[in-house]
Amino acid sequence: MRGLALGSAATALALVAVPALPASSSAAPRGYVRLSDERSKTWSAWVERPAWVRGSPRMSARKKALLHTATYHGSPELVVVLGKVTVAGRRWLYVRYAGLGDRRGWVPGVSLWLARRTDKRLVLDRSRFGLRLLRGRRVLFSTRIGVGAVGSPTPAGRYYIRERLGPFRNTNSVYGALAFGTSAYSPFRTDWPGGGQVGIHGTNQPYLIPGRISNGCVRLRNSAVRRLGKSLRVGTPLLIR
Give the homologous superfamily in CATH for domain 120-240: L,D-transpeptidase catalytic domain-like (2.40.440.10)
| Residue range 160-216, pLDDT digits in tens | 999 999 999 888 889 999 999 999 999 998 888 788 999 999 999 999 999 999 999
Q: How far apart are CA 186 and CA 155, in angstroms?
A: 6
Runs of H (alpha helix) within the chain: 6-13, 222-229
120-240 matches 6-118 in CATH topology: no
Supply angle C-alpha 135, 235, 58, rounded to 5. Answer: 125
Architecture of the structural domain at 6-118: Roll (2.30)
Q: What is the pLDDT of residue 27?
A: 60
The secondary structure of 186-232, three-state, reads CCCCCCCHHHCEEEEECCCCHHHCCEEEECCCEECCHHHHHHHHCCC
pTM (2 d.p.): 0.88
Domain ranges of the chain: 6-118, 120-240
Q: Which residues pair with 78 in a beta bridge?
A: 46
Q: How far apart are CA 105 and CA 56, in angstroms?
A: 7
**Distant-in-sequence contacts of 164-167, Cβ < 8 A, 24+ apart:** 164/75, 164/229, 164/233, 164/234, 165/73, 165/75, 165/199, 165/201, 167/226, 167/229
pLDDT interval class at 19 (50, 70, 90)? very low
| Residue range 102-127, pLDDT digits in tens | 999 999 999 999 878 999 999 999 99
- Report the amino acid identity of residue 129: F
Q: Which residues pair with 105 in a beta bridge?
A: 95
Q: Which residues pair with 156 in a beta bridge?
A: none
